[in-house]
C-alpha cells in the first residue's frame, strides 16, 4: 500500500514538528495537520510566530507549508482524504474519577477514534497512535472503529510512539536513534506496518526501524520514559548524599557514566525533571502495574516520582534555610521557567514547584525566562493545584524581560532552567546591584561557582558543597 496523503490529528508539540519533518523528507506525500484549536492552527499558518518554540522548526515549516504541508481546522475533510492518520492528541493524567492523578485520560483519543469512524466512507485506512497511551489503547481504538465501521471500509491500527525530546525535536526527528512501529501480527497488520515504515524509509536507515507487536510498542514508550526518568531520580538521589558528605555529583556521574554498561547520558543532577511526559508516563505505568496486581512493581516506579518531588522540595528548602530561614518579603530572582532550555514549554516544570514553595513563604519573586510569556507564567502559578489565592500570586510575582533588572535588589538568584545565555551574564554587574549577602542557587550546575565565589556570592549548587565565603580558615601552623 502506497501512502499518498497523511492526516495528523493534534497540532501540538508532537504532531506539528513530526509532520513538518515528514513533509520535508517526503515531497511525494501530502501532509495535513488538523486541530480543534483555531488559534493554534492560525499560529502554524502565521509567518511571525509558530505556536511552539523549537530550534530549526520554522525553517522546516516555511520550506514545506503550502506545498505538501497544510495546517487546518477542517478535520473531517482531512480525515476523509487521508490514507494514513496519525493521532497526536494530548493524553494528560486524569484529574478526577477512577485512576485520578495516575491513569492517562484517553477522552481525546476516544473522541478522535469516534470521529474517524463517523467520517470515513470508504477504503483502507491506517490509524496510527502517536500519542503516548497505556498498554492496550490500540485495542480500544480498534474496537471503537470496528463497532462503527461502514461497509467498504477497513482499518489497521498501529502503535508508533514518538521519542523526540523538546528542544531538540527537529534533530531527533531527522536522525532518531530508532523508529518503533507495533501492529497486529496478521498479514493485514504486517502490510500496514510496512506501509508506515516506507514513509520513514525516505530518510531513516531500515535497520533503525523496529517492528514489534502492538503491546510491545505501547509498553516500550512508557518503559523508555520510565527508564530515563529513573536515571534522573537516581543521580538526584546521589546529589543529596553528595551534599551531605562532600562528594561531587558531577565527579560521581562521570565516574559511573564511563562504565559502558551505564553510559554517560541523563546523569546530570538538577532540581528535578519536568515536562509533560516523564511524570505522566511513569504514573501511567504505576497505574498499569496496580491494575495488573503488581504492587511491588508499582511501588518501585512510584519511587521515581517521589524522589523528584523530594528533590524540588529539597532545593526550595535549601534556599529558604540559607536565607536565614525566612524569605518573607525578600526579592528573589528566578532565572528560567521552562522545563528545560530551548523550549517555551512549562508543563510540569520544576521551576513552578520551586516558585510555589517560595511563594508559600511570602517571597517576592521576579521571574525571567528568555522564551516563556508572562501570561503563561502567571497561568501556571495561579493554577489551583499551585495556589489557592491567585491575587496573592499576582501581588508577589513580577515578570521581568531583562535579567539584570530582575536581579537588581534581589537577595538571591536561583537558576531553574539551563538556558545557555545564563552562563554568559556579567555576574560582577549583577552582584553589585544585589542585596548583601548575595546568594546564588544553581539548580542546574551551569554557573561558574568558583568565579561567583570570588565575586563574593554565597553559592549553593545541587550535588556538591561549594567552598563558603565564611568558611573557618585552617589555622596556620605556628612559626618557630
Ligand atoms: P499538545 O497538548 O501540545 O497537543 C495536542 C493537540 O491535540 C492540542 O493542540 C489539542 O488542541 C489537540 N486535540 C485534542 N483533541 C483533539 C481532537 N479531538 N481533534 C483535534 N485536535 C485535538 O500535546 P503534545 O505535547 O503534542 O503531546 C501529544 C502526545 O504525544 C501525548 O500523548 C504525549 O504524551 C506524547 N508525546 C509528547 C512528547 C513531547 O515532548 N511533548 C514527546 C513524545 C510523546
Name the β-bridge partners of 159.
129, 182
Q: Which of 277, 289, 355, 416 is catalytic?
A: 277
- Count CB neighbours of 476 within 10 A: 6
> With contact defined as beta carbons under 8 Å apart, do 354 and 416 qualify?
yes
Ligand 1 pocket member 68 (CB < 6 A)? no
Q: CA-CA distance, 108 to 114, in Å (whole number)? A: 10
Tens of pLDDT along 252-301?
Answer: 999 999 999 999 999 999 999 999 999 999 999 999 999 999 999 999 99
Mutation probe of ligand 1 site: the residue of 7, 8, 9, 13 with most atoms within 8 A of C-beta: 13
Spacing, Cα 150 to ligand 1 middle (Å):
28
Spacing, Cα 71 to ligand 1 middle (Å):
15
Q: How far, rounded to the nearest angstrom, does the alpha carbon of residue 284 sit from its chain's CA centroid?
A: 15
> Can you give the pLDDT at residue 476?
58
Residue 389 zone, left/alpha/beta (φ > 0; ψ -120 to 50; rest): beta
Ligand 1 pocket member 13 (CB < 6 A)? yes
Ligand 1 pocket member 44 (CB < 6 A)? no
Q: CA-CA distance, 278 to 175, in Å (whole number)? A: 22
> Can you give the pLDDT at residue 473?
47
Q: CA-CA distance, 376 to 355, in Å (whole number)? A: 14
Which residue's C-alpha comes closest to atom 2 of ligand 1? 90
Measuring CA to CA, which residue among 92, 78, 3, 85 is closest to residue 41? 78
User: In this structure, is the dihedral angle defined by the CA atoms of residues 442, 444, 445 and 451, taken in order, positive or negative?
Assistant: negative
Which residues have CB under 8 Å from 48's CB, separation 6+? none
Q: CA-CA distance, 338 to 343, in Å (whole number)? A: 7
Ligand 1 pocket member 14 (CB < 6 A)? yes
Identify the structural domains of the chain with CATH numbers, from first to last: 5-204 (3.40.50.720), 246-480 (3.40.50.720)
Which residues have CB under 8 Å from 33's CB, separation 6+? 7, 8, 11, 15, 16, 19, 20, 44, 69, 70, 71, 72
> Can you give the pLDDT at residue 160?
98
> Can you give the pLDDT at residue 470?
47
Name the β-bridge partners of 176.
none
Tens of pLDDT along 152-190?
Answer: 999 999 999 999 999 999 999 999 999 999 999 999 999
Q: CA-CA distance, 82 to 295, in Å (whole number)? A: 43
Q: Which of 162, 166, 243, 460 is catalytic?
A: 162
Spacing, Cα 89 to ligand 1 middle (Å):
4
Spacing, Cα 432 to ligand 1 middle (Å):
45
* DSSP result, 136-202: THHHHHHHHHHHTPPTTEEEEEEE------TTSHHHHHHS-S-EEEEE-SSHHHHHHHHHHHHHHTT
> Which grid cell is 451?
568565579
Q: Is 221 a catalytic residue?
A: yes
Mutation probe of ligand 1 site: the residue of 20, 34, 35 with most atoms within 8 A of C-beta: 35
Task: State the closest ligand 1 atom to the C-alpha of 10, by its place in the atom list counted from 1.
Answer: 7
> With contact defined as beta carbons under 8 Å apart, do 392 and 365 qualify?
no
> Can you give the pLDDT at residue 469?
47
Ligand 1 pocket member 268 (CB < 6 A)? no
Ligand 1 pocket member 37 (CB < 6 A)? yes
Spacing, Cα 418 to ligand 1 middle (Å):
25
What residue ranges of the chain have pLDDT lower than 50? 469-473
Spacing, Cα 110 to ligand 1 middle (Å):
13
> Can you give the pLDDT at residue 171?
97
Which residue's C-alpha comes closest to atom 4 of ligand 1? 12
ipTM field: 0.98
> With contact defined as beta carbons under 8 Å apart, do 344 and 338 qualify?
yes
Q: Is 162 a catalytic residue?
A: yes
Which residue's C-alpha comes closest to atom 43 of ligand 1? 162
Amino acid at each position: 500500500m502506497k501512502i499518498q496523503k497523511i492526516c495528523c490529528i493534534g497540532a501540538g508539540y508532537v504532531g506539528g514538528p513530526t509532520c513538518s519533518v515528514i513533509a520535508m523528507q517526503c515531497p511525494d506525500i501530502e501532509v495535513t495537520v488538523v486541530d480543534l484549536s483555531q488559534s493554534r492552527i492560525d499560529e502554524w499558518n502565521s509567518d511571525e510566530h509558530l505556536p511552539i518554540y523549537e530550534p530549526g522548526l520554522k525553517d522546516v515549516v516555511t520550506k514545506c507549508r503550502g506545498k505538501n504541508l497544510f495546517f487546518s481546522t477542517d478535520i473531517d475533510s482531512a480525515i476523509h482524504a487521508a490514507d494514513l492518520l496519525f493521532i497526536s492528541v494530548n493524553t494528560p493524567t486524569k484529574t478526577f474519577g477512577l485512576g485520578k492523578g495516575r491513569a492517562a485520560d484517553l477522552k481525546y483519543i476516544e473522541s478522535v477514534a469516534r470521529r474517524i469512524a463517523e467520517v470515513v466512507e470508504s477504503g483502507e485506512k491506517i490509524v496510527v497512535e502517536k500519542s503516548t497511551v497505556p498498554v492496550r489503547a490500540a485495542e480500544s481504538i480498534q474496537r471503537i472503529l470496528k463497532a462503527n465501521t461502514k461497509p467498504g471500509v477497513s482499518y489497521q491500527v498501529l502503535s508508533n510512539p514518538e521519542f523526540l525530546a523538546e528542544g531538540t525535536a527537529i534533530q531527533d526527528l531527522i536522525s532518531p536513534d530508532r523508529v518503533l512501529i507495533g501492529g497486529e501480527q496478521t498479514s493485514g497488520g504486517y502490510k500496514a506496518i510496512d506501509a508506515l515504515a516506507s514513509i520513514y524509509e525516505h530518510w531513516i536507515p531500515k535497520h533503525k526501524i523496529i517492528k514489534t507487536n502492538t503491546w510491545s510498542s505501547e509498553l516500550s514508550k512508557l518503559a523508555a520514559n520510565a527508564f530515563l526518568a529513573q536515571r534522573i531520580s537516581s543521580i538526584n538521589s546521589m546529589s543529596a548524599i553528595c551534599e551531605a558528605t562532600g562528594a561531587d555529583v558531577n565527579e560521581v556521574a562521570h565516574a559511573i557514566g564511563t562504565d559502558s554498561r551505564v553510559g554517560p547520558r541523563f546523569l546530570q543532577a538538577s532540581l528535578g525533571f519536568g515536562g509533560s511526559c516523564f511524570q505522566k508516563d511513569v504514573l501511567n505505568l504505576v497505574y498499569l502495574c496496580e491494575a495488573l496486581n503488581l504492587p511491588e512493581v508499582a511501588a518501585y516506579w512510584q519511587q521515581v516520582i517521589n524522589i523528584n518531588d523530594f528533590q524540588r522540595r529539597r532545593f526550595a528548602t535549601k534556599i529558604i534555610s540559607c536565607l536565614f530561614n525566612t524569605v518573607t518579603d525578600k526579592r528573589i530572582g528566578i532565572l528560567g521557567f521552562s522545563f528545560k532550555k530551548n523550549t517555551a514549554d512549562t508543563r510540569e516544570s520544576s521551576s513552578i514547584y520551586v516558585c510555589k514553595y517560595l511563594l508559600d513563604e511570602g517571597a517576592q519573586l521576579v521571574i525571567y525566562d528568555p522564551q516563556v510569556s508572562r501570561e503563561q507564567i502567571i497561568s501556571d502559578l495561579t493554577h489551583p493545584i499551585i495556589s489557592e489565592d491567585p491575587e496573592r500570586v499576582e501581588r508577589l510575582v513580577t515578570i521581568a524581560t531583562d535579567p539584570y533588572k530582575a536581579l537588581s535588589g534581589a537577595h538571591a538568584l536561583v537558576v531553574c532552567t539551563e538556558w545557555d545565555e545564563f552562563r554568559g551574564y556579567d555576574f560582577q554587574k549583577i552582584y553589585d546591584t544585589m542585596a548583601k549577602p548575595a546568594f546564588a542557587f544553581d539548580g542546574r550546575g551551569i554557573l561558574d561557582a568558583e568565579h561567583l565565589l570570588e565575586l563574593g556570592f554565597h553559592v549553593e549548587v545541587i550535588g556538591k558543597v561549594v567552598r563558603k565565603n565564611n568558611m573557618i580558615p585552617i589555622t596556620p601552623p605556628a612559626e618557630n
